[in-house]
Structure 1
Amino acid sequence: MTTKNTIDLGEFQFLSGESIPSLEVAYETYGEFTGDNAVLVCHALTGSSHVARRPDSGGDTAGQARAWWGDVVGPGKAIDTSEYYVVCANAPGSCYGTTGPSSESPETGEPYGTDFPPVTVGDWTRSQRKLLDELGVGRLRAVVGGSVGGMNVLDWLRRYPDDVERAGVVASAARLDPQCLALDTVARRAITSDPNWNGGHYYGGPEPEDGLARARQIGHIMYLSKASMSRKFGRRSAGRETVREEQPDPAAAFFPYREVESYLDYQAEKFVDRFDANSYLYMTRAMDDFDLSAGYESDADALAAFEGELLLLSFTGDWHFTTEQAEALAEAAREASVDVAHHVVESDHGHDAFLVEPEKAGPPLSDLLETGLAGRAITDTAGEDEPAESESFAPVHTSLFSE
C-alpha cells in the first residue's frame, strides 16, 4: 500500500517567529499502519518525499526522477514496507510539493520568493509531528535519516524524545564544521551574485541558473572523496566527442576538457532543471544553522531525555560528516546514558556512500528496526562479521545529489 498526498496543516509559525497562513506538506506513505510500526524517514538536502519506489508513480515524482533511497526502503528491503508503515515528508522550504519560496502566497497571489520566513531543522521536525498527528501516528517505531536528514533525526530526539523508540542517524553529525560552513557560504554567494537572482524574486523571468549550477558543483565536490574522484575521473580527458557548450574563457579551447569537468557540468545541468535556487539557499541555511547543543549545556544535555536506542552509522571516506564527528556524538550519547552504537563502514565513496552502497547502509538499519541494538554486534568497522543477508543489497550507483 502506497500513497502520495499533500496535506494543508493550516497556519504555521516558524521558530523565527514569522508565520504563513497555510503550510502544505507533500508526503508519501508505504505499507500499512498497525499502531506500533511507523517509521519516519527524513530526507537529505535536496531530497523529496519520494523515498521508495511506487508501482503507480507513472513517472510523476514531483520533480525528483527516482526514489532517492529505493534500494534501502521497500518490500523486502532493509526498511521493509511489507512490515513497517513508512512515512516520508518533504521539508518546508523545499520545492517538491511542500510550501517554500517558490510557492504562491495566499496573501499576494505571487510566489513568496525571499519573503518566505527563515526555515530551521526544528521547523522540519515540527511540521512532521503535525503531519503524523493528522495521520493518527503517535509514538514512532523509529525515525531514520541521512546527511541533514540525520540532523532532523537528532532534533526529534531533543524535541520529542518520548515519541521515538529507536533512531538511526546516517552520515551526519551534531553540527557542520567550519570548512563545510565555508563551502556552503560560497555556494550561496554563487546564487545571490547571479544577475538573474533579483533579490530572490525571479519567478516569471529568467532564473539564476548559472549561480545554482555553480552552487551544486561545489556540493558535488563535497559529497565525493579524493579516492572516489580519482577512481571515477583521474586526470583523463573527456574525449573528442565531448565538448563544452560554451568555452568559459578564450584559452580553454587549447586545454583538455577533463572527465571531472564534464561530470560537474552534466550534474549541474540536470540539477537546475529540477530544483529551485531560493530553496537551495533556504535548505543549506537550515543545515548550517543546526547545532544539537543550541539551548542546552551540551550535546549530552540535549539527548538526556531520550530513553530509546540510537544507532549512528558513519563512513570512513566521508569528509562532509566524518567518523570522528559521529564518534563525538556517540560519546555525548553515552554521557547522557543513551543506549547507543556507532557503526563505522569502510568506504571510499565519500558522503555519497549512504546512497550508493545500500548493501552496507541497509543491514544495520534493518537490525535496528527488527531487534534494536541488542540484535547486532556493532563493531568498529563493518567487514568480517557483516551478516550474510547484506549480500542481498546489491549496490546501485544512484545518487540523491545527482537526479
Structure 2
Amino acid sequence: MTRATRDTRSIGAFEFECGESISELELAYETYGEFTGDNAVLVCHALTGSAHVASGPRGSESSPRSGDGGQHGDAAGQARAWWDAIVGPGKAIDTTEYFVVCVNVPGSCYGSTGPASIDPATDEPYGADFPPVTVTDWTRAQRRLLDDLGVSSLHAVVGGSVGGMNVLEWVKRYPDRVERAIPVATAARLDSQCVAIDGIARRAITTDPDWNGGDYYGGPNPDDGLALARQLGHVMYLSKESMANKFGRRAAGRDAVRDTFPADPAAGFFPYRDVESYLDYNADAFVDRFDANSYLYLTRAMDDYDLAAGHGSDADALAGFDGEVLCLSFTGDWHFTTDQAAALADAFRTAGVETAHHVIDSDHGHDAFLVEPENVGPPIADFLADGVAGRAVTDARTGTDRETAFAPVHASLFGD
C-alpha cells in the first residue's frame, strides 16, 4: 500500500516578489510514496486546483475531509482528486516508484495562506491587503517547503496550465535542482486574448457590490461575480468542437432552472439552452468551494507570468538547465495552443536542452490534460523513465511522433 500524507507546514516569514512580507506563510501539501533520495516528483496544480492531486489509501490522511469548501483552508471542495488517473500506484506517475509532492500555492484557498487567511497583525482576514503573488513566489515557496522535507533535488517537476508555468519557473530559477521537466498545456506567457478574458472575469468580481473592496468575509460573498468569472473560464477551457458535441443548440430539460443575472423578463420567451444550464450549474458549484479574492490573485499571477522576464529571450531564461524536457500540447486547446508549445520547445532546443514536444490530437480543449489519461499518461510515464528516448514521446530531433495510437477520450471534467 502506497503511503500518503496530508499536512500544513509553516515556512516562516516570507517576502513576496512585490517586496511586501507576511510574518508566516503556511503551505498545505500532500505526499505519496516513499522518498529514497533521488525519486521526488513535484506536481504543480492548475489555477483553482489543490494539493489533493491523487486519492490515498482508504482511510489515510489524504482522504477527503468534510468542511466548507475551501474558504477556510479545506480541500473538501475538490474531494475528487484532480489527477487521480495519472498519479498513483501503477499509474503514469507511479507512487510505488516515485515520491510525489503537491503543494497548494500561496494566495489560494485550499489550506495555504491567502486572502481568506487570518492576518496575525489584525486578527482579521487579509482580504485585499494580502500581498500580490506571482508564479515566482509559488516556486520560491515550494523550494523552501521541499528543503524542509529534505528534498534537495527533483527527478521531475510536472504541471498543467498555469501549473506548467510553475514548472517553467522551476527550470528557470532552480535549474540545478531539476533533472526532467514536463510542462503540459502551457506556454511561456499568456496571449492577449486570454489576458482580456481574465480581465473581464476579474471585473465581474470587483463590480459585484458584495465584493466590498475584498472585505466580504463574515458577510455575503460576491457569488454572482465569481460565478460569471468562472463561466468565462469554462468557455475558455472548452473547444468549439467539444461544446458542439456536448451541447449543440439544444434546449435544457424541463426541470432545468433559468437563473438570469440580472433578471431579464423577456428571457422567458426564448429557450434556456443546455450549454447555459451547464455553465450555471458548474458556476454554482464553484462558488461553494472557492474564494473570490483568491480567484483575483491567482489569475493575476497567471496573466503576469513571462518566462523571459529578466532575460533577453525565453531561450536565455532556460540556458542554465541541462536536464531534459517534455512539452505536451493538445490540438483543440486554444487557451494554450500547440503553436505556443512548439515555440516553447524551440526555446528549449535553442538553449541546448534535450527536448521533446508531444502533440495529442484532441478536440476536447484545454481540459484535455485533465480528462484524457489514456493520451496523457503514456508519454509522461515513458519520459519519467527514459527521458526523450521514451517510446511514446516526440522525437527531439525530428519533431515527429514515434507513437500516435492514443485515441482521444471525450469525457466531462465536471460530471459523470
Q: What TM-score, normalized to structure 1? A: 0.95
Cα deviations across residues 239-292 of structure 1 (Å, max 9, x unaligned)? 222221457300111110100000000010000000000000000000000000
Aligned to 2:135, which of 121, 140, 161?
121
Q: Summarize the Cα distance change of 1:402–1:197 in structure 2 as closer, same or farther, 3 Å threshold.
A: farther
1:253 is the counterpart of 2:268: yes
Cα deviations across residues 39-58 of structure 1 (Å, max 9, x unaligned)? 00000000000000122344
1:232 is the counterpart of 2:246: yes
- Residue in 2 aligned with 1:361? 376
Aligned length: 397
Q: How does 1:32-181 map to 2 (within 5 A)?
A: 32-54=34-56, 55-56=58-59, 57-60=62-65, 61-181=75-195
8 Å contact 1:35–1:137 — kept in the other structure? yes
Structure 1 position 375, deviation (Å): 2.2
8 Å contact 2:9–2:28 — kept in the other structure? yes
Structure 2: unaligned runs, 5 residues or longer: 66-74
Aligned to 1:16, which of 10, 18, 22?
18
Cα deviations across residues 44-84 of structure 1 (Å, max 9, x unaligned)? 00000000012234431443121000000011110000100
Cα deviations across residues 155-211 of structure 1 (Å, max 9, x unaligned)? 001100000000000000000000000000000000000000000000000110000
Aligned to 2:403, which of 380, 385, 390?
385
In the alignment, the residues of structure 2 paired with residue 381 and residue 371 of structure 1 have an alpha-carbon distance, to the nearest angstrom, of 18
Cα deviations across residues 130-176 of structure 1 (Å, max 9, x unaligned)? 01001000110000000000000000011000000000000000000
Write the letter of the residue equivalent to 1:150.
G
8 Å contact 1:355–1:398 — kept in the other structure? no
8 Å contact 1:212–1:277 — kept in the other structure? yes
8 Å contact 1:166–1:369 — kept in the other structure? yes
Q: Summarize the Cα distance change of 1:5–1:277 in structure 2 as closer, same or farther, 3 Å threshold.
A: same
1:267 is the counterpart of 2:266: no
152-161 or 48-57, larger mean C-alpha shift: 48-57
Q: Which runs of 4+ in 1 moved over 6 A?
A: none
- Residue in 1 aligned with 2:235? 221
In the alignment, the residues of structure 2 paired with residue 325 and residue 358 of structure 1 have an alpha-carbon distance, to the nearest angstrom, of 22
- Residue in 1 aligned with 2:320? 305
Q: Summarize the Cα distance change of 1:402–1:8 in structure 2 as closer, same or farther, 3 Å threshold.
A: farther
Structure 1 residue matching 2:38: 3-state secondary structure:
coil
In the alignment, the residues of structure 2 paired with residue 381 and residue 265 of structure 1 have an alpha-carbon distance, to the nearest angstrom, of 41
8 Å contact 1:191–1:197 — kept in the other structure? yes
- Residue in 2 aligned with 1:351? 366
- Residue in 1 aligned with 2:311? 296
Identity level (%): 69
181-190 or 56-65, larger mean C-alpha shift: 56-65
1:209 is the counterpart of 2:214: no
In the alignment, the residues of structure 2 paired with residue 341 and residue 58 of structure 1 have an alpha-carbon distance, to the nearest angstrom, of 35
Q: Summarize the Cα distance change of 1:381–1:194 in structure 2 as closer, same or farther, 3 Å threshold.
A: farther
- Greater relative contact order (Cα 8 A, min sep 6): structure 1 or 2? 1
- Residue in 1 aligned with 2:294? 279
In the alignment, the residues of structure 2 paired with residue 149 and residue 26 of structure 1 have an alpha-carbon distance, to the nearest angstrom, of 16
8 Å contact 2:327–2:341 — kept in the other structure? yes
Q: Summarize the Cα distance change of 1:318–1:107 in structure 2 as closer, same or farther, 3 Å threshold.
A: same
Q: What TM-score, normalized to structure 2? A: 0.92
In the alignment, the residues of structure 2 paired with residue 310 and residue 104 of structure 1 have an alpha-carbon distance, to the nearest angstrom, of 39
Cα deviations across residues 208-236 of structure 1 (Å, max 9, x unaligned)? 00000000000000000000000000000
Structure 1 position 396, deviation (Å): 8.5
Write the letter of the residue equivalent to 1:375.
G
Q: How does 1:330-345 map to 2 (within 5 A)?
A: 330-345=345-360
8 Å contact 2:379–2:390 — kept in the other structure? no
Cα deviations across residues 2-49 of structure 1 (Å, max 9, x unaligned)? 000000111000010000000000000000000000000000000000
8 Å contact 2:374–2:409 — kept in the other structure? yes
- Residue in 2 aligned with 1:195? 209
8 Å contact 1:271–1:402 — kept in the other structure? no
Write the letter of the residue equivalent to 1:356.
V
Write the letter of the residue equivalent to 1:30.
Y
8 Å contact 2:259–2:280 — kept in the other structure? no
In the alignment, the residues of structure 2 paired with residue 196 and residue 381 of structure 1 have an alpha-carbon distance, to the nearest angstrom, of 52
- Residue in 1 aligned with 2:385? 370
- Residue in 1 aligned with 2:71? none
Q: Summarize the Cα distance change of 1:309–1:58 in structure 2 as closer, same or farther, 3 Å threshold.
A: closer
Structure 2 residue matching 1:351: 3-state secondary structure:
coil
